[in-house]
Amino acid sequence: MYEQMKRDLSYVQGLLDGESGHRDHPDHKALYRLAETVDKLVEAVEHLERRHKELEEYVEMIDEDLDELELQVFEEEDDDLVEIVCPECGEEVLVDEDDLEDRTLEVLCPHCHTVLEMENLSGDESDHVIEDRERSVTDGTPFDGS
């Protein structure tokens, strides 16, 4: 595409150079200057297109690296997550295992925005306490955390 533009510009400049009798005429000077300006614009756009292609390749490489990093990070994170089922909508909510070590925990269901409150969570009992808490929310019995 750019080669054709350059050939066309060379042709126009050749025509302008061939008119030796009118070189001092203002119209001839304006056309010659316009042809030079268009030639510079074609070169600049060609340069920008080359740089754009280089940047696209670079961004694709970064995106691939980011994908690999995300896979590594999320694979590690998945090991430390505990699934809790929301009693209101049945949506699974992932909670970091480290958060379960707190005495109380409030989790917001991302689907129905219900606040799930869990109390007296500790180590191995956390799964049992979470199930009891879910049952107490659905059946109306008070939750004592034991």
Question: Coil, strand or helix: which one is 82?
Answer: strand
Q: Is residue 50 classed as helix, strand or coil in its secondary structure?
A: helix
Query: How many whole angstroms separate alpha carbon 125 and alpha carbon 145?
Result: 10
Could you count the other beta carbons within 10 Å of the beta carbon of residue 37?
Answer: 10
What is the reported pLDDT for 93? Answer: 79
- Written as one letter, the residue type at 138 is T
Distance CA 119, CA 144 (A): 8
Please tell me the predicted confidence (pLDDT) of residue 132.
40
The stretches in the chain having pLDDT less than 70 are: 20-21, 75-80, 102-103, 119-146
| Cα of 31 vs its chain's centroid, Å | 47
Task: Evaluate whether 95 touches 130 at the Cβ level (below 8 Å).
Answer: no
Q: pLDDT value at position 25?
A: 82
Which pLDDT value is given to residue 49? Answer: 96
Residue 1 pLDDT: 77
- How confident is the model at residue 38, as a pLDDT? 92
pLDDT of res. 109: 81
Residues 75 and 56: their CA atoms lie apart, in Å, by: 28
Q: How much is the pLDDT for 27?
A: 84
